[in-house]
Structure 1
Amino acid sequence: MRDTTPEGGGSREPEDAVVRGASEGAASAEGGTRDTGGTGRSVAADSAGCALRGGKRRLWTGAAALAVLTVALGAAAVHLTAGAPAQSEEGGAGLPPATTEVTQEDLTDSRSASGKLGYGPVTEVSGRQSGTLTKLPQSGAGIGRGETLFEVDTDPVTVMYGDHPAYRRLAVGAEGTDVRQLERNLSELGYEGFTADGTYTWATATAVMEWQRDRGTEQTGTVELGTVVFTSGAVRVDSLKAEEGDRIRTGGPVLEYTGTQQLVTAELEPEDRRLAEEGGAVEITLPGGESVDGRIEDVAVAVRPESQEEDRTVVEVVVSFDGEEAERAAAEYPLAAVDASFVAETREEVLTVPVAALVAMNGGGFGVEVVDESSSAYVPVETGLFADGRVEVSGDGISEGSVVGVPK
């Protein structure tokens, strides 16, 4: 360990340390003229590049190191160690103003966010045909493949599964993804005699007529626009936008639905996007205080209006419950506010110090000031994960229990 106190009892500065991340340098950052202890120069002047020490002129590369450390720490102010020697809390020269020990612990990069427990995003269904609403479901009702979502003039509007919305009348000769979706649904519902190849043949039309007969509608062999609603799966009616007996026009809202699976929707700031990766683990705290496991299902960037002049960009994250036990626990709270903890990375049993203990080294990289009774030395370190105001460090001369300097 290198003693930073020269012969004769006077103090000297470390030749390899340039800046320390700390708030105590705010005076220099703000252009203050704090005296550095007998040199007759301010910290601000020293940071400009030159300092006089005992008649010897030393050139510092403080500006570059200052910029690097400021970016790494996210701090607005840093302290130049190139000034006069710091005073210890006991008043000794050459020692940092305060110290702390290097600890060995698990370091986790995580964020907590408020979330809403519900059934995921809401989708609105509009009427594609004009007529009178003769039947509507109740809010909260679950509706699956082949079942009636609502009725117009007593004709059922049927739920079928698929990712592509219905947009046209389907009849013999039609080809495309929507035809394949229809054929796959007919097959899942038990109708046979055709191939689900995306081509609407007479065999497809025959199966459609059988389906129409079972649904109690006119057997035309064609599927009119508005008689089928394609959804990603079974749905839960979230709210009604009209009442039975209402006359609707094409495009008029009828109801809103969600999925049937309970989900948590939470928002993160854009700078925390790294925490939200599809398939990532999330810890969800339910209203009763119980914590259960979750899994990220979907991540999307959304814009929220803040005012008439400004919008706010957020990262919207949809989280599912991981396992039957978690699902049963969540089922007790159909709609509720929850807390969601997102974890980007965990480093187990690593050495850590407060971020403020880091100093930028003159030759590049970072170091810490290791204190040993009445002396100290600057030791270079490799940095790892930054989280919760601490940073992972490693290097020769650094071990659990080592004492390092920090700003007071």
Structure 2
Amino acid sequence: MTGALLIMLAVCGGLALGIAIHNRESATPAPAAMPPVFGKLTDAPVLDRISGSVTVSAGATLAVRVPAGVITRAGAAAGSVLENEGEVLTTVNEVPVLLWLGEVPNYRALGPGSSGADVAQVQGVLRRAGYRISDPAGEFGEHTAEGLYRYLRERRIVPRDLGGQPISAEEWRSVGVPLGMAVFVPELPVRVSGGPCGTLGAQTEAELCSLEFGAPGFVLEVSVADAGRLEPGVAVSFTLAGSVVSATLGERLPATIEPGAQGSGPPGSAPPAAAEGEATGGGPRFALLVPADVAAVAGQQSRAEVILARSGEGFLRIEGAAIRDRAGGAPWLRARSGEHLAIEPGICAEGYCAVSGADLRAGTEILISGELEASEAPG
């Protein structure tokens, strides 16, 4: 009797426990369905693009070197642009350093008896200033001396002989161009870079400053990952001094190693070679073809955008996550109304895809993710 009672109690207890577990599971709510997220078809283009940076480089650079001395008048400021022949770059020991046009650098003192291409350059300076020079081209004769003497006096510059000593009016035939009194540049204007051309009271240095001239160069730098996607001829746009510049991508530039770059090898070993078109500390670089009328100064920088592909006419834009595939593989979109819209996909980039189709209209709401609510799903 006692055993039968115990068995009955165990059976009843198990039944009660099973009912309690079932009731607790029934009370646990089912996971909530993801709320639907919608986007709109727009007529904005889909752009496959790469970002980079553009740097303006000097067309050519000339180092300004003058004899040892003291800067007695402040030189042209860094960044200043000198447009006229005869402008003063700086003054050393009270001798002005003049900017003249010429291909041959001023490497020697010039005066009576001198001859050569550099003398012809001085004669060219004098003729452009309005002085008549009858001496043979490249021969420093009396007419060249007379013209130079008058040129200096009319500009309130003390005439000097070859050695740099001041001369009197009676000594005009001995006038010359002391070494360092002129800097010849192939063209004007020039821009001062690398610091001012002399600080008042300072001793002259081996390289006083640099002059930049010629058409500026434009260089695009991108990441290593993006460089492989670029081909010459693609469109590049960037903003310079508030204006949008449209350029064309040129060839990839050779690798460069910055001076003083340190390698990981033993002391005295050569630094590691950079990848083609890659500067130490930067990414691969490409030349840019820019319209000639674009005004730029070496050192300017800007963000750039390279357009690799653009969606064509008749395409609309939608988030890529909205595109669905039927069993047969034909892509489609689900409208908020529940309608299935057949599409022809175009390019996809930056999370968006270009789509076209007979039933597509800009402004139509499209299901991106989640499920339609019962009231929105088709009956």
TM-score of Structure 1 vs Structure 2, range by shorter chain:
0.3 to 0.5
In the superposition, the TM-score normalised over structure 2's length comes to 0.46
The structure with the largest alpha-carbon Rg is 2
Structure with higher strand content: 1
In the superposition, the TM-score normalised over structure 1's length comes to 0.44
